[in-house]
Amino acid sequence: MLKNKKQQKIREDHLNADNETLVVYNDPRHPIAEVYRTLRTNIQFSAFDRELKTLSITSATEGEGKTTTLSNLAVTFAQQYKKVLIIDADLRRPRVHKVFNLENRQGLTEVLVNQLDPHKLIQPTFVENLSVLPTGVIPPNPSELLGSQRMKDLLSLLKKDFDYILLDIPPVNVVSDGLLVANIVDGLLLVCSSGVVPTEEAQRAKELLVQAKANILGVVLTNMAFDSSKYYYYQND
């Protein structure tokens, strides 16, 4: 009975999820889905001679698509039968739980502040092999929590249980929280919205991440126009 209730909850999450965001899951033959799979491959190639299990994704400013990028990228890893965890570390404006239609009553904040067992707060999603640790209650001191030794210890603990851990962190030009996480993960992606974020803002974000000693794997450009006809053959297999 318990298993049936859990399965029903997962089905309901899918029905009520932000399906427009999760193009890789809902429309895997879409050209943009192929772009995300290419991004996944590039990340895996970049790690051929080093460990790359923890990956944070940020942006220069708000509204550039970092959560969308992270969510779809996580799905592509899960579709390779990898055990994947998303940690929503944007303790100011969390969105991951909305994408997957999950509860956000307890999560990262409670793990760091009250030392609750993270395994009891991690939630499965309707995507096989993909789980989420939401933010939980929004704390008054996000920077202190994310820059704490407990945060480092948490990642070390969870790396034993997951093949990939992806962290959604705040825009680095807006608040300093993300910079405190940037150098404790194995790699980082900077998301920039094409034609939206000014060049100087993108450059400033890169400089801040370099100063924070982040391992920048690359820059992901979102909202770019492309010729979908190049991918037409995918629709005719």
User: Would you say the C-alpha torsion 200, 205, 206, 211 has a positive or negative sign?
Assistant: positive
Is residue 196 pLDDT above 90, yes or no? no
State how far the Cα of 6 lies from the Cα of 16, in Å rounded to an integer.
15
User: Using CA atoms, how far apart are residues 125 and 79, in angstroms rounded to an integer?
Assistant: 13
Give the pLDDT band of residue 194 (cuts 50, 70, 90): confident
In-domain check, residue 25: yes
Task: State how beta strands 130-133 and 123-124 pair.
Answer: antiparallel
Question: Are the C-beta atoms of residues 222 and 191 closer than 8 Å to each other?
Answer: yes
Q: Give me the phi and psi of 120, to 5 degrees please.
A: -85, -15
- Per residue in 135-172, pLDDT (tens digit) is 999 999 999 999 999 999 999 999 999 999 999 999 99
**What is the model's pLDDT at position 90?**
97
Q: At what angle do helices 66-78 and 31-46 cross, to 10 degrees?
A: 80
Q: Is the pLDDT of residue 230 over 50?
A: no
In contact, 87 and 166? CB cutoff 8 Å: yes
* Chain Cα centroid distance, residue 130: 11
Would you say how long the chain is, in residues? 237
Residues 57-83, mean pLDDT to the nearest whole number: 95
Poorest-pLDDT segment among 69-78, 84-93, 118-127, 222-231: 222-231
Q: In terms of pLDDT, which residue wins out, 30 or 235?
A: 30
pLDDT of res. 20: 75
Domain that holds residue 183: 2-229
Query: Which pLDDT band, with edges at 50, 70 and 90, does 9 fall under?
Result: low
The count of domains in the chain is 1
How far is CA 95 from each of CA 43, 56, 138, 167, rounded to the nearest angstrom? 24, 15, 12, 12
pLDDT tens digits for range 27-61: 999 999 999 999 999 999 887 677 899 999 999 99
Helices marked H in the chain: 2-16, 23-26, 31-46, 66-78, 96-99, 108-114, 118-121, 142-146, 149-158, 177-182, 199-211
Query: Is 14 domain-assigned?
Result: yes
pLDDT of residue 18: 55
pLDDT at 235 over 50: no
Task: Tell whether 237 is covered by a domain.
Answer: no
Would you tell me how many other CB atoms lie within 10 Å of the CB of residue 6?
A: 11
Is 235 inside any structural domain?
no
Specify the CATH number for the domain of residue 32: 3.40.50.300
In a domain, 31, yes or no: yes
pLDDT of res. 49 = 73
Please state the rounded mean pLDDT for residues 200-223. 93
Mapping DSSP to helix (H, G, I), strand (E, B) and coil, where does residue 127 land?
coil
